[in-house]
Amino acid sequence: MGGDHRQASSSSRSPETVLPIAAVPIDFEEGVVAPIFSSYNYHIRPLLDTIDRLRLLQVMKEGIQLPTIVVVGDQSSGKSSVLESLAGIHLPRGQGICTRVPLIMRLQNQDTTEPELFLEYSGKTVPVEEDHIADAISLATDEIAGSGKGISNTPLTLVVKKNGVPDLTMVDLPGITRVPVHGQPENIYEQVAEMIMEYIKPEESIILNVLSATVDFSTCESIRMSQQVDRSGQRTLAVVTKADKSPEGLREKVSSNDVNIGLGYVCVRNRVGDESFEEARREEENLFENHALLSKMDKSIVGIPVLAEKLVQVQANIIARCLPKIVMNINEKLSANVMELEKMPKILSSHAEAMTTFMQIIGSAKESLRKILSRGEFDEYPDDKEMHGSARFVEMLNNFYNELHKSVENEQTGDFLMEEIKVLEEAKGIELPNFLSHSAFLCILQRKVDRISSMPTDCVEQTWDYIESVVIAILKRHSEDYPQLKLATTRAAKSLISKMKEQSINRVSEIVQMEKLTDYTCNPDYMSEWGNLLSQQQKFMEDLKSCYGYNSTTIEGWGTIQIEHLRGKSDTILQQAFDLKTRMKAYWKIVLRRLMDTMALLLKFNVHNLVTKEMEKEIFMELLGADGGKSIERILEESPGIAGKRERLKRSIGLLRESKEVVAQITDKIASCGD
């Protein structure tokens, strides 16, 4: 498509009307005055029809923007009158806000003596007579937006097929009212403003700003709004109405362009009172021909016929510019939707299919659990630390070990050896004094074990709580599309995990009990550690008895300790107490390591059982046990949300395919014209 000869001819008319290069040739016949809407061009018509068909298909709901001329203007600026003048039909005028829904006006030039009018809404096409147009519109509006005074976003289309109208499609929006009239919602201004914004925001929209010559343009609400979305004004065109009422200074107002209108101004005079359209056009022509001030204005910026021409041209430009993007958007949306539909779960139509899906879900949940809890692979949740099972287990075990150690350090009070001495004294028997009492050792061991006995169970509880959270999250994810299945599997998992948790707690309590009952190890570290510690006994005794009367001494393994309180005790008891303490210190290390090792092995063992066997077994029992799996179809019934989404996607795909078809027809035609 080429033909920028149009630009040359338009710029020769007036600097204000310079337009972007028309991608579609428009053959204006220079010098031919009547008919007023001579701008009809057979090249534009099919393009416009294509866009109108897409609009009727409501592709905008799919997020695809269409080139649109949006009419905005403050109350009583003359919006309806301008549309009336362009369409050559009577529209409801000056009756407060009667436009409560977006009104799409499709004007189509047609060789008929009688105009044909239709309203298209809610999937219907209703023929209307020109005399009853106001009633028909308000009836249709009531049907769309309710009979109150509220507004709605669902458009109503008015098709006008008439001889001599320009081929134009425009959207008329509710007028901007600051103050709600009786019966209107309080936030009517916000609602209308939001709707207008939604229409004028897209780059594909041309803003036709209707301004009354009687007001200061910079105070117009519609100017304020269009400037918000089109600061440079490059897609804003202004129509100045009521030129007859306020001719003074109009020329200056327009040429100074204080409000930044990029596409230029057209000043008009609409029908006044009971004039016919022919009379109104003659009056307008007369006004701009003969009025002392208005006749000085450039002919290329005055009159309804000029406005019609200009709009047709702007429309052709924008359509030509947008078409490739529309094609691209339709294709992108279509393939995205098709892909999404394919990703969605299939509809299960037989027992076998339901069973297969069920097995697949359980299988993949099991695999996820194995990765996260057993193998430490977290590719499925790279950024969710909670789901990095192995690392969290190590963390919990380390915390456990640190807690155990802390409890030992806390014991080191100033009363060095006193606990041992007391226990030894109570364990005295009628026997030789140089045997170390085994029962004294056990007594101290039991006390120590008691002090830490709650820690292993706490750790077990903590790990199971964590395992439960992971298992539930995984099951939920894999059964997301099937609410019944989600409920059943999480129920099964919870009950299984609480059983397994109880078992491990019992197991760990047993292990703690074992440590209390028997002091045994085959680990040679015990003997070497004890030997090292005991070798300091001599120095300890010497310091205690030294004539210097030291208050404290230093022993490796305990650091600096107070010894004053030990003076006066017998050597035997002191030596035995020291021996007892060193044995306990060496042995306690072994106990803690053994606990830690056992806990780690137990944890891995439990997780292994859960993931490889128990989980699956429990879910199968829960879901298939009761009736041999007959109810599996019911359990795998998909959620209404999923069913709804599938329907939406299917509808949207259908619509986009149809749109693609519509666009393909026109692009084919353009291609063959170009050849």
Question: Which residue ranges make up the site for Mg ion (CB under 5 A)?
Answer: 80
Distance (Å, rounded) from C-alpha 28 to C-alpha 383? 63
Closer to Mg ion at the Cβ: 80 or 576? 80
Q: What residue 164 binds from Mg ion, ligand GDP, none (CB within 5 to 8 A, per partner kind)?
A: none
One-letter amino acid for residue 260 of the chain: N
Residues 6+ apart with CB under 8 A from 402: none
Residue 614: other Cβ atoms inside 10 A:
17
**Whole-number minimum distance, CB 70 to Mg ion, in Å?**
15
Distance (Å, rounded) from C-alpha 211 to C-alpha 267? 9
User: Is residue 174 a contact point for ligand GDP (CB under 6 A)?
Assistant: no
Distance (Å, rounded) from C-alpha 83 to C-alpha 313? 17
Distance (Å, rounded) from C-alpha 535 to C-alpha 661? 96
Q: What residue 155 binds from ligand GDP, Mg ion, none (CB within 5 to 8 A, per partner kind)?
A: none
By CB under 6 A, name the one of 7, 11, 65, 75 that touches ligand GDP.
75
Tokens in use for 601?
């092995």
For 482, phi and psi rounded to 5 degrees? -125, 95
Residues 202-261 that bind ligand GDP (CB under 6 A): 241-242, 244-245
User: Is residue 177 a contact point for ligand GDP (CB under 6 A)?
Assistant: no
Closer to Mg ion at the Cβ: 173 or 314? 173
Backbone dihedral region of 58: left (phi > 0), alpha (psi from -120 to 50 degrees) or beta? left
Q: Which stretch binds ligand GDP (CB under 6 A): 79-87, 329-337, 435-443, 479-487?
A: 79-87
By CB under 6 A, name the one of 100, 162, 269, 486 that touches ligand GDP.
269
Closer to Mg ion at the Cβ: 74 or 481? 74
Q: Which stretch binds ligand GDP (CB under 6 A): 72-80, 145-153, 294-302, 504-512?
A: 72-80
Distance (Å, rounded) from C-alpha 519 to C-alpha 516? 8
**Whole-number minimum distance, CB 95 to ligand GDP, in Å?**
7
**Whole-number minimum distance, CB 36 to Mg ion, in Å?**
23
**Whole-number minimum distance, CB 25 to ligand GDP, in Å?**
33
By CB under 6 A, name the one of 10, 39, 41, 77 that touches ligand GDP.
77
Distance (Å, rounded) from C-alpha 253 to C-alpha 215? 11
Residue 427: other Cβ atoms inside 10 A:
17
Residues 494-513 that bind ligand GDP (CB under 6 A): none
Q: What residue 515 binds from ligand GDP, Mg ion, none (CB within 5 to 8 A, per partner kind)?
A: none
Distance (Å, rounded) from C-alpha 94 to C-alpha 270? 13
Tokens in use for 62?
């799919």
- Cα 620 to chain centroid distance, Å, stands at 36
- Residue nearest Mg ion, Cβ-based: 80
Tokens in use for 383?
């950024």
Closest CA to 489 of 480, 498, 500, 499: 480
User: Is residue 94 a contact point for ligand GDP (CB under 6 A)?
Assistant: yes
User: Is residue 79 a contact point for ligand GDP (CB under 6 A)?
Assistant: yes
Closer to Mg ion at the Cβ: 80 or 582? 80
Closer to ligand GDP at the Cβ: 94 or 146? 94
Q: What residue 233 binds from Mg ion, ligand GDP, none (CB within 5 to 8 A, per partner kind)?
A: none
User: Is residue 100 a contact point for ligand GDP (CB under 6 A)?
Assistant: no
Residue 90 burial class via C-beta count within 10 angstroms: exposed 0-12, middle 13-18, buried 19 and up: middle
Determine the size of the site formed for ligand GDP (CB under 6 A): 18
For 210, phi and psi rounded to 5 degrees? -90, 120
Strand partners, 68: 205
**Whole-number minimum distance, CB 140 to ligand GDP, in Å?**
18
- Terminus-to-terminus CA distance in the chain, angstroms? 10
Q: How do 103-109 and 156-162 pair as beta strands?
A: parallel
User: Is residue 93 a contact point for ligand GDP (CB under 6 A)?
Assistant: yes
Distance (Å, rounded) from C-alpha 393 to C-alpha 463? 7
**Whole-number minimum distance, CB 305 to ligand GDP, in Å?**
15
Closer to ligand GDP at the Cβ: 90 or 161? 90
Closer to Mg ion at the Cβ: 68 or 80? 80
Residues in touch with ligand GDP (CB under 6 A): 73, 75-81, 93-94, 175, 241-242, 244-245, 269-270, 272
